[in-house]
Amino acid sequence: MAEATPSFKIFPGQAFPLGASEVDNGINFAIFSQHATAVTLCLSLPQRGELDMLAGGMIEFSLDPNLNKTGDIWHICIEDLPRSNVLYGYRIDGPKDWDKGHRFDSNNVLIDPYAKLVEGRRNFGDAKHKLSKFLGTYDFDSLPFDWGEDYKLPNIPERDLVVYEMNVRAFTADESSCLDQDIRGTYAGLIEKIPHLLELGINAVELLPVFEFDEFEFQRRPNPRDHMINTWGYSTINFFAPMSRYGSGGGGAVSASREFKEMVKALHGAGIEVILDVVYNHTNEADDKHPYTTSFRGIDNKVYYMVDLNNEGQLLNFSGCGNTFNCNHPVVMELILDSLRNWVVEYHIDGFRFDLASVLCRGTDGSPLGAPPLIRAIAKDATLSRCKIIAEPWDCGGLYLVGSFPNWDRWAEWNGKYRDDLRRFIKGDPGMKGAFATRVSGSADLYRKNKRKPYHSVNFVIAHDGFTLRDLVSYNFKHNEANGEGGNDGSNDNFSWNCGFEGETDNVDIIALRFRQMKNFHLALMVSQGVPMMLMGDEYGHTRYGNNNSYGHDTALNNFQWQQLNARKSDHFRFFSEVIHYRQKHRVFSHENFLDRSDVTWHEDNWDNPDSKFLAFTLHDKGGGEIYLAFNAHDFFVKVSIPPAPPKRRWFRVVDTNLASPDDFVGEGVPGIGSTYNVAPYSSILLEAK
């Protein structure tokens, strides 16, 4: 042992549960490593100084493989340890054969993969602690969280979801949020802004990653990206611990965990579900050239990552981030399932969106699997059975599975084809009318298989990746120079149109056309069968000035601009929220099953003409109500014949995106619709029969 004092009574301990747990005679520590030859538990006690002062300040317990090992699990129990405020990690040694996939280095103190809480620097972006260490901790002192007597889960049927993709920090970090400095950019800050979410009308938030990550990871060595701060968080350090620096007031991991639960409780109280964007395809530990070893790499690289044993044990890289988590290895699969269950049981999470989920469909050698064990296990797991499970059905190794993601009739998908086809039709590309009709009616070509439903398509035009909605109609090209990679990062296939001028302009006609196009996209999204998802900030027209890969900017580029929201509250925002509320009130937009001939009439005999960019259709409600929609992507007026309204009803105009606010949306409808309607260039209309 490295230090003789203070003295503790130690026992062999037990192999389960993994992580730190409270047992009758003390605190038990258990960690898996199949290939380790030596394991040392390192502890830092509460009075022993700051996290950044760890050098040499830890008590070490060497584990005896004859006493402290069961199978591949190393374990030890220590009596009389404090029940909280203890930091812990492991030094692990083993074979040095890189070509066999090993990366052991006993100089590193590693985070327990099963640590439920992780301590690092206390404040987000605090440059004084840029190279802060991260260590596991535990809390057996706090009382169980009080979810409240009348608390209940929203349990919203999938078909009724309207999803708002958002970033916890960026939502309230800007001073325009008018929150106290201590709670800007935190879970508590999000709670303060729930009234905005309710006014907008969404009923589910999809949070960009909230597992512990190191926002300074780009700044650990000189490189072209060393000016950036990771604000998106797609770089997990640990799969159980909530991001501690999203807690308010620099309160640390225990406080952040409690505040996270307060946020979920408040959202649930408002009838809003919480879906987490989870990143199990890779970790923060990067590649072999510039590794950032904090946990898995030093514990058992060959188990936790895909390595190419035919190529000197190199890391395989299907994630685009230097490493690929070995998701279908039995041990890694169990870790992922335990992590997901923990978020559901401990934090009451309602669903998960799996980043680059095609990686989760690869075997341990990287080859695609037809029935991936992990994907099946998630679909069949009892604890996860009430959760929404959503795949991003592609990866950086070319495994594109939109419409064919292994699903067991449970998995939904981010519908990338919906995004591309809607963008192309609305901007006026030729030959897109049929594809547009297919997408707004639920993408039956992709999802009408076995028992899948329209709501297994998560429809979106905009997500965190790529352009904002405002930029989609303002830029033909990405402008990513600020990212430090010479503009080489980010997608080139944006299907965007700048409406006649690249970037910011004072031209009132171009500005008007852009706002009209944004309304057209939003209307199309909200009348489509399936689950609509929109991006935070699009409700006021947020711009990133053409940057379509803004993960590294802790600035107004990403941060919600509350003053801009207030400036557009009565027009752009009003339209967006009214259309969402209208969708919620009309079941005709969220069918349980795919549309048949009695559900929709296409007013169209020109399907095969690529130059036709106008589409009109009527959705029939079994209760007798009807909704007529027309989308004109031509640059000229189209005079269209309106079909007769059903008996004893007449048409009322609810939406015409060509009209100025408040006439662009009139909830009760405007009467006096004749037998024809002149639909303006690049505009859309919605009529309701009443």
Amino acid at 686: L
Amino acid at 56: G
The residue among 328, 333, 408 whose CA lies nearest residue 369 is: 328
Q: Checking DSSP bridges between strand 614-620 and strand 314-315, what pairing results, if any?
A: unpaired
At which residue do the structure tokens 């409690």 appear? 258
* Cα 176 to Cα 187, 247, 357, 558, distances in angstroms: 17, 20, 36, 13
For 335-340, which contacts have Cβ atoms below 8 Å and span 24 or more sequence positions?
335/113, 335/114, 335/239, 336/239, 336/280, 336/374, 337/374, 337/377, 337/378, 337/381, 338/18, 338/114, 338/240, 339/239, 339/240, 339/280, 340/278, 340/378, 340/381, 340/383, 340/384, 340/387
* Cα 151 to Cα 146, 271, 341, 666, distances in angstroms: 10, 11, 20, 36
Q: Is the N-terminal amide bond of 6 cis, ω within 30° of 0?
A: yes
Strand, helix or coil for residue 521: helix
CA 539, CA 121: separation in Å to the nearest integer?
34
CA 203, CA 531: separation in Å to the nearest integer?
11
CA 388, CA 274: separation in Å to the nearest integer?
10
CA 93, CA 178: separation in Å to the nearest integer?
51
CA 56, CA 54: separation in Å to the nearest integer?
6
b/e 419-429 (16+ beta carbons within 10 angstroms → b): bbbbbbbbbbb
Q: Give catalytic residue positions.
A: 355, 392
Q: Are the CB atoms for 559 and 184 separated by under 8 Å?
A: no
Angle made by CA atoms 61, 65, 68, in degrees to the nearest 5: 60
Amino acid at 422: L
CB atoms within 10 A of CB 484: 16
Q: Is the N-terminal amide bond of 154 cis, ω within 30° of 0?
A: no
Is the CA virtual torsion 157, 162, 168, 172 positive or negative? negative
Residue-wise DSSP of 331-356: HHHHHHHHHHHHHHHHH---EEEETT
Q: Are the CB atoms for 625 and 603 separated by under 8 Å?
A: no
How far is CA 335 from its chain centroid? 20
Strand, helix or coil for residue 440: helix
